[in-house]
Structures are given as structure tokens and as C-alpha cells.
Amino acid sequence: MSALTIFTDTEASQPVWHSTDAEAIRERLNAKGVRFERWEADRDLGATPDSDTVIKAYQHAIDRLVAEKGYQSWDVLSMRADNPQKEALRSKFLNEHTHSEDEVRFFVEGSGLFCLHLDGQVYQILCEKQDLISVPAGTPHWFDMGSEPHFTAIRIFDNQEGWIANFTGDSIADAYPRLA
């Protein structure tokens, strides 16, 4: 179940707000300029869909977002617990960083934890199946796929070169809860 937990950026042990209600999550995030919405496939994906099947099932939603925001490309990324590089890939994005373009992710299956550092607060968004999140360019954040990752996500880009992580050097991410 999707969830939003908000902490102050000085107290990681006590949340100031929490909800699993998708509409309440959307309202809180939209107020901060972060897009959060739910997408439905227009067809059955089957048990183990390939990238083309995934894209085709959500092309209607991708096209709507591209028409609105002008994004240029998209792809599908799957991560599983048996990936021999899972620890290195996990640790790569556990530190606070920004991007020069929006970071747009749609979770086809599984989950991941986006943590945004905004206006003196930390917003931890547990994204799960059917969740789309768009973290605006320049927003300090980190991402946790968990120690046993399992997700398939559509990634949507302005351009792939802009998706380079610019690390802030702040160790704030170390203080906040992570996925198991």
C-alpha cells in the first residue's frame, strides 16, 4: 500500500504526518510541486511482461504526460533480489542528490521509497504498483530500493543525459528509515 510519511529534517524518529490514502498523498505532494497519481493498464500484462508489453499497456498515460510536459523518451527498468549488482545499485542513490531534470517513475509492480528534502521536512513516499511520482528538477532527494529489491518501473526522461545524480554532500539520508 502506498504511503506518505513526513518528518521534520531535524527529527527522524517521530513523523509529523502519515497517510496511506492515495488522494491525501496526492494533495500533500502536489502542494509541494511533486506529481503523484495512479495509472491503470489498458490491458492485462500477464505474469512476466516484457518491456514492449509494459509500454504498450501504459502508452495512453505516457502520451498524456508527454503532451503535457514535453518529455522525450521512456524505458522500462526491472530490478530483482537476485541481481548481483543490487547492493552497489542500491547504495548509489541512498545519498541525497538532485537532477537537472524531473525524475519521473511509474511503478508497474513492486515498490521503492522516494525521500524528498523540502522546506525543512523529509517526505518519504512509498511508491507501489500503479503509482507515478515526478520529483521536480533540482529537488534534493534519495531513493531506496530495499535490500531485496523487486520492482518494474517505467522511467520517463527529458533527455537521458540530464538524469545524472548531483550529490549534495549532506548526510541527512543516513538518519531516516530505510526499506528493509
> What CA–CA distance (Å, rounded) separates 82 from 92?
18
> What CA–CA distance (Å, rounded) separates 78 from 76?
7
Name the β-bridge partners of 113: 126, 144
18 among annotated binding-site residues: no
- Residues 6 or more apart whose CB falls under 8 angstroms from that of 80 comprise 86, 149, 150
97 among annotated binding-site residues: yes
Name the β-bridge partners of 161: none
Helix (H) or strand (E) holding 123: strand 121-128
> What CA–CA distance (Å, rounded) separates 90 from 86?
6
Helices vs. strands in the chain: H and E counts, helices first = 3, 11
Report CA-CA distances (Å) from 72 to 51, 68, 130: 18, 12, 22
At 155, the amino acid letter reads R
Which residue ranges are tagged as binding site for Fe(2+)? Answer: 97, 99, 103, 141
Annotated binding site for Ni(2+): 97, 99, 103, 141
**Known binding-site residue numbers:** 97, 99, 103, 141
